[in-house]
Amino acid sequence: MNKKGQRGSIGVGGASAYGSTDIADWRPEDNDFWESAGKIIAYRNLMISVPSLLCGFAVWMMWGILTVQMLNLGFPFTQAELFTLAAIAGLSGATLRIPATFFIRIAGGRNVVFLTTALLMIPALLTGIALQDTGTPLIVFQLCALLSGIGGGNFACSMSNITSFFPKRLQGTALGINAGLGNFGVTTMQILIPLVMTVGLFGTFAGGSMTLLKDSGWILGKIAAGTPTYIQNGGFVWLLLLVPLAFFGFFGMNNLVPISPNIGSTPAAFTKVVWLYFLGLVTSVLGLYCYLPKPFGLGLLNMWVAMPLIIVGTLLAMKVFAFGDMRANLERQFRIFSNKHTWSMTALYIVTFGSFIGFSNAVPLAMKVIFGVQHIQDPVTGVWAHSLNNPSAPPVLAYAWIGPFVGALIRPVGGWISDKVGGSIVTQIISAVMVVASAYAGYLMMQAYHSATPEVYFTQFMVTFVVLFAASGIGNGSTFRTIGVIFDREQAGPVLGWTSAVAAYGSFIAPVVIGDQIKAGTPEMAMYGFAVFYAVCLVLNWWFYLRANAYVKNP
């Protein structure tokens, strides 16, 4: 075994032909290799991957907070239009995870993480510019939300990359750290954006301030109406992190040649990534155009039809328009779809990550709509009015970060526990908890939405959603551990990416379902529906992995 390159790259035979960033000899299951050379390389790549993924989550999910502040500042959009911004970002990010699932094998981990991190600068910059003016058309914000999906797509390739670096016995812990700390991007965003909006952080470059028309808030409490606010900083601030992270990704990470055998030159690898992301954006736009109501779309398809069509359309576009060695490589990775466990784990990951990301995206604006106004019933007609401002409303931005923070913080713990006792038993327990918590959350939302003093239900609401976030965070780690046990090293990465892609549609589903049910006056029905789904998946998990004659006993 020879050590090549200044950053500890390893090769055998002709390994030097790959350059100092490429590693030709990689045997993490060999304990001598792991202790002597592999461990330090794996953890270095993990250390760079985590903050890059964190920024990806932040840019992707920032619309959950930005839309709340746009409402407070009087941007001329309806609540339904603002809900669509979070939904567009969610759908785009989920769809881009489909091609991102297969990036590592065709382009190499270092190349992919660097480029996908650098691409996040585009939506961050454009969003900051768009937010400088309340007269910016809605379609511009919709474009920014669409491009923010790049951050969502990055999760699939990041997880596929990290799973290749670590031995199976450390899969739950390593993936839990990468995903869990990466998920802190949601919390970081929910804390950082309200903070940077309070000061002219970038001077004249970022433009002037706007005046709050309604009370807002940040981590320390309420911000009164009339306060100057720099909402555009919510986009610009990410450039301060993305520039150095792109640098570290390019010069500090590695490509694993056994995992990515036909990378080609670095520009060629970049071309593959950009092309496949472009195809994902095209199918996202076409699907959204068929789904969104006029004047921004045709309004022909409902969500449950549009979403599977977009998934299938993206896979077909990749198959048809892939070029060169990409085509054969993708066909090889598409073999995961013939394995029944790919589909069972996809459903289980929707329970965990789909819930985490969906609630992260939908709950802040839902809190504003449910608890920010008084709900008054006309004693004569019986009709409810939901427009009068609630002076006792809790400041949404002071509380919205708590649930995602708990879910992200506990995620590595879920992976660690699952390494010890087995992933499926942990998934079973948290699924049962989520059935009960989701049903109770629905009950509380119903009570609050039919009360002139909805704030009296807020504490119970927050505690219940913290339980949901905590359970989903633990389950994120447990499902990753199960995937690492069931699939071999070649398929584990693509399966991780695929399951995360489908589950990420939770970021699209939750804002749409909760928003629609609030509009219909029955917000509880959304949560009752989620509870039913969790119960079905609880049975599925038992049937596949826990019963006496399970397909794969785990444990």
pLDDT tens string, the chain, 555 residues long: the values are 333 333 344 443 333 333 368 999 999 999 999 999 899 999 999 999 999 999 999 999 899 889 989 989 999 998 778 878 988 998 899 999 999 988 998 999 999 999 999 999 999 999 999 999 999 999 999 999 999 999 999 988 998 899 889 998 887 788 878 887 887 888 899 889 999 999 988 887 888 999 998 888 888 788 888 999 999 999 999 999 999 999 999 999 999 999 898 888 999 999 999 999 999 999 999 999 998 888 778 989 888 899 999 999 999 999 899 888 788 888 888 889 999 999 999 999 999 989 998 998 888 888 988 998 899 988 888 888 888 888 898 988 889 889 989 998 888 888 788 888 888 999 999 999 999 999 999 999 999 999 999 999 999 999 999 999 999 999 988 887 888 788 887 788 788 888 988 998 988 888 889 988 988 889 999 999 999 999 999 999 999 999 988 888 766
pTM for the model stands at: 0.84
CA 171 – CA 175 distance, rounded (Å): 6
Q: Is 207 left (phi over 0), alpha (psi -120 to 50) or beta?
A: left
CB atoms within 10 A of CB 217: 21
CA-based Rg of the chain, rounded to a whole angstrom? 23
- Alpha carbon 431 to its chain's center: 20
Signed CA dihedral, 363, 412, 460, 509: sign only? positive
Mode of pairing for the β-strands spanning 373-377 and 384-389: antiparallel
CA 1 – CA 523 distance, rounded (Å): 61
Q: Are 57 and 93 in contact (CB under 8 A)?
A: no
DSSP string, 196-211: HTTS-TTGGGG---EE
Say whether 190 sits in a helix, a strand or coil: helix
Q: Are 1 and 33 in contact (CB under 8 A)?
A: yes
Q: Are 465 and 441 in contact (CB under 8 A)?
A: yes
Q: Compute the half-sphere exposure of residue 326: CA atoms within 13 Å on the CB side of its CA.
A: 23
CA 534 – CA 176 distance, rounded (Å): 22
